[in-house]
């Protein structure tokens, strides 16, 4: 069985602490297999995920990183736009998918991509998982006849 957790992080460092604590508690008490956490975290892992505006708050980034480490969550590689939120002056990666190693290992194909921003200041993210093996055609073939 796998577990999916959708999140919305508060816009303040103090407000997000309860989310981080809830995720750590959930990890400790309930996660026994594949787990993915996704949504609008309203936080970045570091300055490389923000362009324009003020430098991200160090404490905020550290607490997000610490929650990820404690819960054994890693960022699922995302294709498409680098930033998922914009106010036209500042661009930030706020929306993402995180998975534990069991989640990553459970899928032969796992993709996260950003979609075009339409009626919001956020880009939606699309997560695609498949257990179907997608192997390329081998450069040669052999057949046993007889």
CB within 8 Å of 129: residues ≥ 6 apart: 106, 107, 109, 110, 111
pLDDT at 144: 53
pLDDT at 24: 99
- Distance separating alpha carbons of residues 114 and 75, to the nearest angstrom: 14
* Whole-number percent of the chain with pLDDT over 70: 90
- Distance separating alpha carbons of residues 8 and 41, to the nearest angstrom: 6
pLDDT tens column, 40-84: 999 999 999 999 999 999 999 999 999 999 999 999 999 999 999
Range in 15-19, 20-24, 51-55, 132-136 the model is least confident about: 132-136
- The structural domains of the chain, ordered by start, are 3-130 (3.60.10.10)
What is the value of pTM for the model shown?
A: 0.87
């Amino acid at each position: 069985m796998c577990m999916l957790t959708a999140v919305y992080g508060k816009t303040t460092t103090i407000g997000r602490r309860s989310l981080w604590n809830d995720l750590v508690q959930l990890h400790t008490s309930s996660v026994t297999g594949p787990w993915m956490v996704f949504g609008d975290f309203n936080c970045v892992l570091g300055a490389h995920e923000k362009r324009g505006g003020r430098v991200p708050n160090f404490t905020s980034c550290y607490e997000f990183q610490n929650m990820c480490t404690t819960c054994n969550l890693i960022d699922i590689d995302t294709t498409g736009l680098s930033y998922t939120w914009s106010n036209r002056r500042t661009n930030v990666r706020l929306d993402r998918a995180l998975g534990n190693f069991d989640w990553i290992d459970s899928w032969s194909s796992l993709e996260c991509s950003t979609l075009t921003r339409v009626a919001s200041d956020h880009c939606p993210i699309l997560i695609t998982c498949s257990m179907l093996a997608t192997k390329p055609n081998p450069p040669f073939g052999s057949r046993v006849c007889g």
